[in-house]
Structure 1
């Protein structure tokens, strides 16, 4: 019997790529979505769709207790397609709530299921000003103001839930600025760019290698250092679906 993965946010830009990678690697993937109309797309990728809202903690617990996953992977976000500037102010608040309350619910449900392994996405541009490139031990910008403060506070809450929950072996992947299919841009942009497929590979490797802790995941740049991920996860920013012959599946 293959190991079971509960993938929260399986229809997102990273999640939909990660489903392919996990299924190809031999895992049984239970992919969550809030929307019934997305169930068929998950089935077409080889996943078992689970219709559940992360804010419904009782429903989430019920699903995970039945599944009894070996790993839980958190790829949930609540952001507009292409990061539409006209929608970002409201989206940032929603996303921070998801990272705070939603992550707490997911961790609680994971514990209820007996699973002790969880991998979650964070961001690589939440560091407090200091010497660059930033490494994982550097402080987050908790004194930020305005919308940045909301985002960083949400990230800090997510990371505390993942890393500091007793009996939980947590991994945090601090992703750079995404580009590629589904992200709204095909060109590398931002101070720490990251192709969406390389991001998904980082999550796959974290599961396969059963590692814990925090990892910056971004292309080589002067903003953040991803040497730890290269060394421990054997990750490369050049990883793509085509390298596993999955780009047309």
Structure 2
């Protein structure tokens, strides 16, 4: 299958290119600059530099592809996440660029459109398992722009294609800045656990996320949760990180202080989200290699510590 991948050099895009190439697909992926273009070529993909906010340029780039994956994001560093302005380009990629990509996919006669959504849409659910029909809690522009993109994905389905929204849990990857920031903070014992840390956090190793993207190309239209099998309570997630690196346990901080310092995005880490992946597993046969963050962070530690030697 010929596949166009927006965000091909991003945290999820990079391993997705690798998985799709190994499966025999032909990949055309977006890349900014010669260094990222060379990266895609080294993986066996065709790089293309395109302004995703230019509808004509997007249509030209997408032409001839049987599937379109929209994984383009602009996530700010952890220390800037509390500033609303830091999310502006990411919001535009989810709202404006999604429309252009769906229009281009329809014009190209593509069979499938896959969008990288997020499980943060669900908000607070306590200890309850959350399926795709779980109630949503839209409390920020970040989440509103994600719903804009999901609406565009449904429009693709309503126009005769297969629109698939993958609601991904929190990624971790050995090259992701957010992961590296987490490790840096944990080593300094300032990776805080809010309150008693009893809230659930759902996560997914990026390699499992990439295999889910490949599986989605054959999925029926709809919304699917992509997360590991065992969401952990925040205190256990933090312990998985520190144990993987042989560090002392993370410090506890009051919830009010965590929210004050972390700003708006902190509410996502204060919410309890025990997200279920049963629908996607049943429909596609996909299953995560790393069943929980305990196993996943062990792999992260092995890779990062290997690089440091």
State how far apart, in whole Å, the 1-side matches of 2:50 and 2:82 are: 25
State how far apart, in whole Å, the 1-side matches of 2:221 and 2:174 are: 28
State how far apart, in whole Å, the 2-side matches of 1:124 and 1:115 are: 26
State how far apart, in whole Å, the 1-side matches of 2:134 and 2:33 are: 38
2:120 aligns to what SS in structure 1? Answer: coil
State how far apart, in whole Å, the 2-side matches of 1:17 and 1:206 are: 15
Q: Which runs of 5+ in 1 are unaligned?
A: 241-246
What is the TM-score normalised by the length of structure 2?
0.69
Alpha-carbon shift at residue 164 of structure 1 (Å): 2.8
Alpha-carbon shift at residue 56 of structure 1 (Å): 1.2
Equivalent residue for 1:125?
Answer: 120
Question: Which has more radius of gyration?
Answer: 2
Equivalent residue for 1:13?
Answer: 11
Deviations 1:169-203 (A, max 9, x none): 10011111111222232789971111011111100
1:155 aligns with 2:146: yes
Alpha-carbon shift at residue 36 of structure 1 (Å): 3.8
Indicate which of 62, 65, 68 corresponds to 1:64: 62
CA-based RMSD of the aligned residues comes to: 2.3
State how far apart, in whole Å, the 2-side matches of 1:198 and 1:79 are: 20
1:113 aligns with 2:108: yes
The question of whether the paired residues in 1 share the 8 Å contact of 2:3 and 2:66 is answered with yes
Runs of 4+ in 1 over 4 A off after TM superposition: 186-190
Equivalent residue for 1:76?
Answer: 72
Alpha-carbon shift at residue 128 of structure 1 (Å): 4.2
Indicate which of 289, 294, 297 corresponds to 1:238: 289
2:38 aligns to what SS in structure 1? Answer: helix
1:169 aligns with 2:162: yes
How many aligned residue pairs are there?
A: 229
Counterparts of 1:31-46 in structure 2, within 5 Å, are 31-46=29-44
Alpha-carbon shift at residue 235 of structure 1 (Å): 1.7
1:120 aligns to what SS in structure 2? Answer: strand
Alpha-carbon shift at residue 85 of structure 1 (Å): 1.9
Equivalent residue for 1:206?
Answer: 216
State how far apart, in whole Å, the 2-side matches of 1:86 and 1:70 are: 37
Alpha-carbon shift at residue 13 of structure 1 (Å): 0.9
State how far apart, in whole Å, the 2-side matches of 1:133 and 1:164 are: 28
State how far apart, in whole Å, the 2-side matches of 1:237 and 1:86 are: 31
Distance 1:32 1:88, change over 3 A: farther
Alpha-carbon shift at residue 217 of structure 1 (Å): 0.7
1:181 aligns with 2:181: no
What is the TM-score normalised by the length of structure 1?
0.84
Q: Which runs of 5+ in 2 are unaligned?
A: 184-192, 194-199, 232-272, 291-295, 297-302, 304-309
Alpha-carbon shift at residue 111 of structure 1 (Å): 1.1
